[in-house]
Structure 1
């Protein structure tokens, strides 16, 4: 598997430039308080060149501070280098005030020239900031990068720091050595010289090679600024591959000897960069296509075998809905099985509660080839049993022990993990050791559809899902952030990565923790709740968003603007009141953080031009690459229902070429909301999707199945949408089989109102209510058999026609 991870990327040689930034002066800065002028300094943040935020000296009590300070940066030409220049008012009593931030694409600076720029800090006033930029090529220092034209992996060095326990001077025993490499992934580490330990684990730092990082060492409890007790070692002073020794002075007595070894990390990445399907999925599709062809020949009564190009890709997509979604999906699959259509399905996608059903089924490698009576019986028992035992003192103690073990492994234990453990207790008989990668056993011969589960990556603070959201897809083969074309092996999710390399492998999580993640409804903030309740966000925008101006529209900057590069922007932060409201509205008090597997990877300068990136553009931050996911330490993954309560996006990837989607909506209201929201999403992203055209009668009285297609767009899939409705099921217990008078009560399924037994908060059903919902879901799909079969015939005919048209 590891050999397949480096496909779909290419190697480039990128020039390295020396960028000099001279902060000259600011003008007409208003008073910061009633007592004096501002005490100004400028901070510079260029995260593609250093982890540090650099700053000028502070000039006190002046409205026209003049610094004339110069800073130098080594920049990689192929990377999107976006510099943040922020003007602050220093306050010794309270928090320093951020006055303005200018975001400038330094790629606009001409090579070999000095660019003098005056940034207006207030379009309606006279405030301004003067900065001079100079960019020169360093011809002897090019860098090899790996990229998919959206993400860039740069060359990385690894430094190991260790100590020989036998050579520790007595006065160092029990002490802690503090190690810092500010321009590294880890930043800080410690060597604890425990005399009772048999072995002292080494510390490791991973750094971008061209950043010229430096190791700083001092003894804990001593002044880190004291030169007598401080050791600094530049990486470039060490020989690659050779262990070298340094001494840490600590009078009185002998110095402590440290062993240092620098290695160049391999260019073989553990993150697969590219938008294509992984090789394992391609092999699966080849195997599955044979089974689909045989199933279609049987169910459509074809007189010959289908050729490979004639076999349509059919998918089942589901919504969330807690126990209701889980129960309904069992019924849906049972109906497809009884119609001999389950073998014609290549993909099943789930979100939230429907993933609980999928996770259980795929414990059996041959589940779809067997009668579903047994798993349904087990589900019936788990749904109808009391959930009180899941909250007993013994179970709570078990949850605490499990989360403590998880934290010791290196995971970021959170409430989401506790939710996953609760789900396991409520819906699984005993501890479930199954992992996501174990589901590959159910796919190795193409014997079952490929399961895909969906979550959404959001910001844990400061941003709502209105401003930032990205799809994260889980399959038994890979976990991937679709927007960036970045994927890792399923068993590596949760491990630590930097610049596309696996830096610390953690044991693969049990599946219950992923179930908690996929149905993580707890990371909501007040802004999300408001929008979900009233479907309007505009009232709160003034509190949650900074004021942004496009400075490229200013006449004197427009003259210097390069043809390429991102816009120069001015951010004016919100005031104290708005900032307080913003924190209240956007903070996620209960979030589920996970190690970010794209951490450290940088954004290619041409990222915005790539089709794959634009296809999954779900954020207002696309023009602010420094705020995108690769520049964050963690992922914050939540239930995809925060945006769309559906699992369509995985099936809309161009590479999957899905022809027919059987869409099952298990919501109690808004029967077409999932497809209508998906249509709106696809329109914005320019993805093929049919129009959702409904009559008033359809909305008032939805049928069991509605067909949506677009004959004008051959790339758009055909959607067969199945809302959860109790229509003809009231009179028929099976298609064409009327209910007797005694059986009419079995057809009464209460799906409406706050007293419905199937609301989201209901975790336990009576046996009668479970059977009713299961039978309803099974009936609804079976009653639509002719519509499904006709869609299959049309899809085959369409593929045959397309092939013949192409041949001509």
Structure 2
């Protein structure tokens, strides 16, 4: 092993010690490496890959480890990831893939697929289902508001991730997945599909990432464990979110389902102010659609006017309502006349069921459907639901390392003092999960990087090169100046190779091969924005799928050539 790898990761090519007992035992694993179950799953996958290679006439004693990476990018990334995986499957490349790792929007696609049994054999059906689902009005306001209210009312770790789950993620993907990571173990362990890795980062360590690209910032989820891959601290996936103290289980919580996890993996893509405005704009758009925007705005303004002391954070929220002075005066006039219930549009009516200083419950009748708001969303005194906006709290969960003694003299020392973790979108660090497939324990030899990012199509690989350089991690040399020159009109394929580290093949989503001119590339990027609140037409979805597939179709021979070359190199090294 290269000593630089060993220094950077503090790990060797061994699996985590002593974790081969009951897969659902409440155990904390403090050791570098991968779990025994992941090793078993990957071994079974490699056996299948060897069979495929032999069928193709490639003789080798060891299959190369190929990792497919999907970047973030909201619904654009989710759709494009679906297209890429479908075409990789048609080309026979997915059969040669060991790992599938994703960040943010790509995890929306991945979780939807892994919720299916043996999904690799059903990608055509999954694509057709996606086209239909995104056209249906399957998002339900009552379901969203009820979900947010119940999370705020019942969950000790309620945060903006719960709001994000039922608002933007549910609205954009049109589905709430009830299955969990532990339920997809069987197909992973049998090796019938690539082993999945889902990326997040620890928000409390984000400042360290910005200063020195800290290894410990990254947090991963697999079907078997969740935790910090570098230097190695995990909990069983089934016990992620449960309460531990000193390594012992204190309170078992229900396993987090995909609906919540995909909100965690795809949360807070932008800075605080941008994301606040996006969430608020979403709700105001929905409220206006259902004819209740004015009513809820007035409830909000009444709350602010009744404050005993100024609250700068609340003032920021009120400012984001974008009310001018005339609108504020009109609202005050209505409030003083006590005509709140007259703020509904003609033909709609409200009925105040209960009213007191702590709880106001209002039902709004529109046609045959009844919507419950008020205490369900904006109670007068109990601002539980809105509290995370003021504190900007995301991804709250019990810290499984709390009071754990084995962290002394380790890179994560200090984590044992924190009762809560705050996890969020890994795109805030690097918008692609390179750090999760680069550790030597995973032995990745070829990375197929599909970049669905908004903006610079090379930002992920430049950021990864910088990260690797900071920690002496083997990675191909990247000509930053050349990539900057081509950023506005990139090609559809780039290959980066070095004497050490994996070979990287990089595929920008919008490029001069599948789009055309620089103007056409810009037009496509504008059509498929990250925060796309409007509904894509069927033509839009079809076009995006085809654009993403083209990057595979046009380069499948190059990909296969490299996989075959790596397999033959392995055969030579065995002799």
TM-score, scaled to structure 1: 0.51
CA contact (8 A) 1:369 1:447 kept: no
* Residues 777 and 522 of structure 1: CA distance in aligned 2, closer, same or farther (over 3 Å): closer
Cα distance 1:502–1:676, how it changes in 2: closer, same or farther (>3 A)?
same
Q: Once superposed, what is the RMSD of the aligned Cα atoms?
A: 3.4
Instruction: Note the alpha carbon deviations across 1:183-217, whole angstroms, 9 max, x for none.
Output: xxxxxxxxxxxxxxxxxxxxxxxxxxxxxxxxxxx
**Correspondence 1:505 to 2:256:** no
Distance 1:464 1:334, change over 3 A: closer
Q: CA deviation at 1:454?
A: 0.4
Q: Where do 1:224-263 residues align within 5 Å?
A: none
In structure 1, the partner of 2:574 is 803
What's the offset of the Cα at 1:755?
Answer: 7.7
2:452 maps to 1:666: yes
Q: CA deviation at 1:296?
A: 2.7
Partner of 2:536: 765
Query: How many angstroms apart in 2 are the aligned matches of 1:413 and 1:479?
Result: 20
Does 2:127 align with 1:376? yes
Note if contact 1:524-1:588 (Cα within 8 Å) is conserved in structure 2: no
Instruction: Name the residue aligned to 2:432.
Output: 646
Counterpart of 1:634 in structure 2 is 420
Q: Counterpart of 2:109?
A: 357
For 2:146, which of 397, 405, 413 is the aligned residue? Answer: 397
| Separation in 2, partners of 1:690, 1:384 | 42
The equivalent of 1:439 in structure 2 is 184
Partner of 2:404: 601
Contact 1:456 1:638 in 2 (8 A): yes
1:281 is matched with: 38
Contact 1:651 1:658 (C-alpha < 8 Å) held by counterparts: yes
- Corresponding residue of 2:511: 726
1:429 Cα deviation (Å)? 6.2
Runs of 4+ in 1 over 6 A off after TM superposition: 460-464, 526-529
Alignment partner of 1:693 out of 479, 484, 492: 479
1:752 Cα deviation from its structure 2 partner: 1.8
Candidates 561, 565, 574, aligned match of 1:790: 561
Unaligned runs of 5+ in 1: 1-6, 11-267, 530-579, 608-612, 614-621, 732-746
Give the conservation status (yes or no) of the 8 Å contact 1:320–1:646: yes
Alignment correspondent of 1:543: none
Indicate whether 1:415 and 2:188 are aligned.
no
> Using a 3 Å threshold, how does the CA distance of structure 1 residues 760 and 498 change in structure 2: closer, same or farther?
same
The question of whether the paired residues in 1 share the 8 Å contact of 2:144 and 2:166 is answered with no
Q: 1:460 to 1:473 in 2, by over 3 A?
A: closer
SS class of match (2:134): helix
Residue 296 of structure 1 corresponds to which residue in structure 2? 53
Report Cα offsets for 1:700-753 as digits up to 9, x if no partner.
Answer: 64211111010x22xx0000000112333358xxxxxxxxxxxxxxx9995426
Compared CA separation, residues 750 and 422, structure 1 to 2 (3 A): farther
Q: CA deviation at 1:286?
A: 1.5
- Separation of aligned partners in 2, 1:528 and 1:456: 17
2:83 is aligned to: 331
Distance 2:464 2:207 in 1: 26
Q: Residue 372 of structure 2 corresponds to which residue in structure 1?
A: none
Cα deviation for residue 524 of structure 1 reads 4.6
Is the contact made by 2:401 and 2:416 (CA closer than 8 Å) also made in structure 1?
Answer: yes
1:703 aligns to 2:491 (yes or no): yes
For 2:81 and 2:244, how far apart are their aligned partners in 1? 36
Task: Report if the CA contact (8 A) 1:379-1:427 is conserved.
Answer: no
Aligned to 1:344: 96
Instruction: Give the Cα–Cα distance (whole angstroms) in 1 for the partners of residues 395 and 101 of structure 2.
Output: 22
Map of 1:551 onto structure 2? none
Q: 1:515 to 1:755 in 2, by over 3 A?
A: closer
Change (3 A) 1:755 1:329: closer
Contact 2:75 2:173 in 1 (8 A): no
**Residue 430 of structure 1: how far off its partner (Å):** 6.1
Residue equivalent to 2:362: none
Q: Which residue matches 2:267?
A: 520
Give the TM-score normalised by the residue count of structure 2. 0.70
In 2: Cα distance, 1:757 partner to 1:332 partner: 19
- In structure 1, distance between residues paired with 2:67 and 2:489: 26
The CA distance in 2 between the partners of 1:720 and 1:354, in whole Å, is 18
Distance in 2, Cα, partners of 1:754 & 1:776: 10
Q: Distance in 2 between matches of 1:693 and 1:292?
A: 33
Q: 1:433 Cα deviation (Å)?
A: 2.1
Equivalence for 1:321: 73
Q: Secondary structure at the match of 2:189?
A: coil
In the TM superposition, 1:503-582 aligns within 5 A as: 503-521=250-268, 524-525=271-272
Partner Cα distance (1:384, 1:675) in 2:
34
Segments of structure 2 that go 5 or more residues without pairing to the other structure are 1-14, 19-24, 277-311, 317-389
State the structure with more CA Rg: 1
Equivalent positions of 1:13-412 (< 5 A) are 270-298=27-55, 301-302=56-57, 305-307=59-61, 309=62, 311-370=63-122, 372-386=123-137, 389-390=139-140, 392-393=141-142, 395-405=144-154, 407=155, 411-412=156-157
Does the aligned pair in 2 maintain the 1:432–1:512 contact within 8 Å? yes
> Which residue of 1 is the match for residue 196 of structure 2?
451
Q: 1:633 to 1:460 in 2, by over 3 A?
A: farther
Aligned to 2:242: 495
SS at match of 1:756: helix
Q: Distance in 2 between matches of 1:451 and 1:288?
A: 12
**Does the 8 Å CA contact 1:384/1:767 hold for their aligned counterparts?**
yes
Select the structure that is richer in helix: 2
1-side partners of 2:48 and 2:66: how far apart?
12
The answer to whether the 8 Å contact 1:464/1:525 transfers is no
Residue 684 of structure 1 deviates from its aligned partner by 0.8
Q: The residue matched to 1:686 in structure 2 has which SS? A: coil
Cα separation, 1, equivalents of 2:437 and 2:44: 19
Instruction: Name the counterpart of 2:395.
Output: 592
8 Å Cα contact 1:424-1:432 kept in structure 2: no
CA distance in 1, matches of 2:206, 2:546: 43
The 3-state SS of whatever aligns with 2:78 is helix
Secondary structure at the counterpart of residue 443 of structure 1: helix
Write out per-residue CA displacement over residues 489-536 of structure 1, whole angstroms, 9 at most, x where no aligned residue: 11110001112221111111221111111011179557999xxxxxxx
Q: What is the aligned length?
A: 442
Residue 333 to residue 435, structure 1, CA distance change in 2 (3 Å): same
Q: Distance in 2 between matches of 1:440 and 1:416?
A: 25
CA distance in 2, matches of 1:415, 1:522: 13
Mapped to 1, the partners of 2:486 and 2:195 lie a distance apart of: 32
Distance 1:770 1:748 in 2: 21
Cα distance change, pair 692–418 in 1 and its aligned pair in 2 (3 A): same
CA contact (8 A) 2:120 2:193 kept: yes
